[in-house]
Chain A
C-alpha cells in the first residue's frame, strides 16, 4: 500500500524502485495525450444501420496473402471491399509511425490550451497580492508539466461458442445393391431413424424364432457408462423380459420319479408347525459341506435325493418359485 506520504519511508526500497524504473517523462518530446488524427477525410460519418454502400476508395494495399486460400468466390468479394464509410486503413507500418510522430508535434503546443478546464494563469491575475507574492506565482508557469502517454490495452471481445449444424447432403451415396431407386435425401433426410433396433435383442429374437440357435457364438455387448445410462439398462431388461415371456416355459424331464409340487406344498403336520415356532430350520451356517446341506434341506422338504442332486435341487427351486408366486405368501411378505 502506497501510504508513504508521511515520513516513514523505506529508503532502500525507494532507491530500488527509482533505479529500476527511470522516469519516463524525462524524454524531451512529450507523448500524446489527446491524439487527434490529422483530418484527411470529411468528418467521420457513423455507419448507417442498413447495408452500407461503401464508397470505393483505392484499397489495393488490402491485398493479403490469405485471400488466395479462399479461391474465387463470395469471400473474395466480401473481403476485398474497403471498410464501410470508405476509410482507408493505413497498413503500412512506417507511415503509421510517421503519422504518430507528426501528431506529436502538432499537439505539442496546443496541449495545455486545448485541454478543457486546464490551469490558466490569466484566471488569477486579478488577485490583489503583494509584489513578492506575484513573483512567487511565476514559479507556477516555470514548471511545464510533462505529458505522459498512457498505454492502451484492447481486451478482445469474447467470441460466442459456435454450434455445429453439419453439412448438406452432397448425394455421394452408395446405391442399393439391387439398383432400385431410393428417395433418401429427397423425400426424407438420408439418416437412420431414431428408433434403431437393438442388435442383440433382435439377434436373440431371430434365434428363438428360427430355432437355429447354437449356430455361432453370441456377440455380447456392454452398456457404456452404465451408471449414467439407466435408460439403456431398463430398455435391456424390458426387452429381455419380453423375449423370455414369448418363449415357451422350459420343461425338465426328471429321470427318476419326483413328487408333484402341489403335493410338496401341503402343510406340515401340526407337531412340526408347532416345533417350528420354537426352533428355526438349519441355516447355511450349519457346519457341514454344501452337498450335505442340500441333502438335509431336501429331506426336510420331502424331496427325494437320488444319485444326482441336480434334479432334486430343481424340484427344490421349483417349489420355492411356486411358493413365491402364491398370493398368500406375497401379502405375508409385505406385512413382514
Chain B
C-alpha cells in the first residue's frame, strides 16, 4: 500500500504542471533578470520584442548592442553600434563600444580609428594599449602602459597583455595579487589556470580551475580548458568526454565558444574531420592553421602543409616547431638545402630556448637540428635523454638507429632498426641500406644479402649491392662479398669489380683453409670465379683445385 502518492491518478499530472507553468509564465520576463543570469539571448529577444511592439525606450538599441556583445555576437553588436554612432547627437563614448566590436572582429585599424574619436578614458587607453600590441608598436605600447591605473580593469588588462606575449608568470603574479584581497573574484582563478596550462603545469591548472567550476559548472571557457588539461594529462577520449558534457548541458541556442569546441573536437579525435572543420577557422583560431598543417603532415601531403605555413612568420613556440618540421620534411624530399637550413635553424631556436630545452619536444628539436648538421654524437646525446618516451615510435627509432649506426654502434643500431614496424619506413632505401650495413658490421652478411634479394632491380638495389660487396670485404665476410661482386661484374664489366671479386674469392678460400667456412663452399668459389672471363681465372682455379685435391675436398 502506498500512502504517499503525490501524482493524482485522475485529472492527470498535466493539470498540475499547467497550474505551475501558468503562474510562472504569466508575467513578462524582465530584462534585468535575464542579464543577471547572463541569458543574453533571452534579454535580446525581450528587448527586440518590446521594440517591435513600440514599447522600446530610447536606449533599447544600446541595450541590444550590449547583449549582442556579451553574447559573443560581435557582428550584430558591430551593426547596432555603427547605427548608434551615426545618429545625430550621439554620445562620443559610443565610439568606444563600436571600437570594442571592431577589435573582436579583428578589424584593428577600424578599432583604432573609432577609439580615437572618443574622449579620453581608461577604456580607450586599454583599447589603444592592446591595439599597439597588435600593431607591434612597442613605443606606443609603452606610452599606453604608463597610462594604466591602479584599478582592476587596467591591471587585468595588463595581465592579459602579458599572457598574449607569453609572459605567463607575470600574468599569474597580477592575478594572484588581486585575488589575495578579492576572494570573490572567482573568474581570476580561470585566468590563472589558463596561464598554468600555457606553462605546461596541467595538474596545477586543473586544481585552480576546479575552484571556478564548483560555482559555475556550465562555463564553456572553463570546461574547454578542463578538456584541454585532460588531453594533455590523459588522452583525447577523456578530453572529448568533457566537451560532450558541455554540449549536453547547453541549450541549442547556445553558440558561444562553439568554434573553439569544434576545433578542439578535431584535436581530441586526432584530426578526424580536420578538412571540414579547420579551413574556415584559419586566422580565427590561431591553432587551426597549425593543426591543419599537422594533419597534412600526417597524411604525407607536404605541398599542402608547406602552402599553409610558408607565409607565416613564426612567433609562438608551436609555430617554430611546425615550420621546422615542414621545412625538414620538404627539404629532404626535394633535396633542397635552403629548406634544410631553415629547418635546422628553427629546430635550434626552439630546442635551445629556455622554456623548451628541458621539454621532450625541445630535445626532439635539438636532436633534429644536429641530425641535419650530421653531428650524430650530439644527436645521440639528445635522443638518449628521451628514448624512454618513444620505445615503440617508428619515427624515433628510425632516426635513432641511423645515429647509432653512423657513430659505429652497429649492434644497437640493428636492434633499434628491427623495432620499426611501419612498412613505409622499412621499404625506404635509407632504412634498407643502413640496416644492411649494420648486419654486415655485426657479421650477419647473409641477412644483408637477403635484404638485397628482396629488392626490385633498380638504381638503389645496385647501390646497395656495391655497399654490400665493399663492406663485406672490409669485414672479411668474403662469401657474400664474392657473390655481390659477381653480380656487379655481370651488371657492369668494370675491371675493378673483377679485382674485388678476385680478392673476395681468394679471401673465401683463405677462410675455408682456416676452417671458418665449410669446405663444400670451395665448389662455389670455383663457380663464382668461372663466371668471369679474365685470364687469371684459370691460374687461381688451378691452385684452389690443387688444394682441394690434397685435402680431399670434392670440387
A69-B313, A178-B59 provided; 18 other pairs, C-beta below 8 A?
A2-B456, A23-B494, A64-B345, A69-B314, A79-B352, A79-B353, A100-B374, A137-B510, A148-B471, A156-B328, A172-B100, A172-B104, A173-B69, A193-B39, A195-B251, A197-B45, A202-B46, A206-B46
Contact partners of B53 in chain A: CB under 8 A: 210, 212, 215
Query: B468-504 CB contact bits vs A (8 Å, 1 = yes)?
Result: 0111011110100001001110111010100110111
**B433-A150 in contact (CB<8A):** yes
Interface residues of chain B: helix, strand, loop or mixed (majority): helix
> Does A152 sit within 8 A of B, measured CB to CB?
yes
Residues of A within 8 A of B82 (CB): none
A-B contact pairs, 24 of them (CB 8 A): A18-B462, A44-B378, A54-B352, A119-B507, A129-B547, A132-B543, A152-B371, A154-B399, A155-B425, A165-B198, A165-B225, A170-B126, A172-B100, A173-B69, A173-B100, A174-B77, A185-B187, A189-B187, A190-B187, A191-B38, A196-B251, A199-B42, A202-B42, A235-B252
By a beta-carbon cutoff of 8 Å, the part of chain A in contact with chain B is: 1-5, 9, 13-14, 17-18, 20-21, 23-26, 34-37, 44-47, 49-52, 54, 62, 64, 66, 69-75, 77-79, 81-85, 87, 89-91, 93, 96, 100, 111-112, 115-120, 124, 127, 129-130, 132-133, 136-137, 139-143, 145-148, 150-178, 184-199, 202-203, 205-207, 209-210, 212, 215-216, 223, 229, 231-232, 235, 242, 245-246
- Chain B interface size, under 10 / 10 to 19 / 20 to 34 / 35 or more: 35 or more
Q: Which residue of B lies closest to A120 (CB)?
A: B476
Q: Which residues of B contact A194 (CB under 8 A)?
A: 218-220, 246, 249-251, 254
Select which of A84, A154, A223, A232 is within 8 A of B357 by beta carbon. A84
Asked if B332 CB lies within 8 Å of chain A CBs, one says yes
Give the secondary structure class of A's interface: loop
Chain B residues positioned under 8 Å from A44 (CB to CB):
377-378, 381
A151 CB contacts on chain B under 8 angstroms = 429-430, 433
List residues of chain B with CB within 8 A of the CB of A166: 194, 221, 224, 257, 260
Q: Which residues of B contact A143 (CB under 8 A)?
A: 473, 499-500, 502-504
The distance in angstroms between the C-alpha atoms of A128 and B430, with both chains bound, is 43
CB within 8 Å for A161 and B185 given contacts A69-B315, A89-B373, A199-B45: no
Once A89-B369, A166-B260 are accepted as A-B contacts, the answer to whether A35 and B287 lie under 8 Å apart by CB is no
CB distance from B97 to the nearest CB of A (A): 4
| Residues of chain B with a CB closer than 8 A to A175's CB | 66, 97, 123
Verify B246–A196 contact, CB threshold 8 A.
no
Q: Which chain A residues border B39 with CB–CB below 8 Å?
A: 192-193, 195-197
Q: Check if B328 sits within 8 Å of A140, measured CB to CB.
A: no
Please name the residue on chain A nearest to B454 by beta carbon: A1
In the complex, which residue of chain A has the Cβ closest to the Cβ of B136? A71
Check B321 for interface membership: any CB of A closer than 8 A: yes
Q: Are A187 and B354 in contact (CB under 8 A)?
A: no
Query: Are B221 and A73 within 8 A (Cβ)?
Result: no
What is the distance, in angstroms, from A22's C-beta to the closest C-beta of chain B?
Answer: 9
Among B194, B254, B345, B503, the residue within 8 A (CB) of A165 is B194
Does B417 reach chain A (CB closer than 8 Å)?
A: no
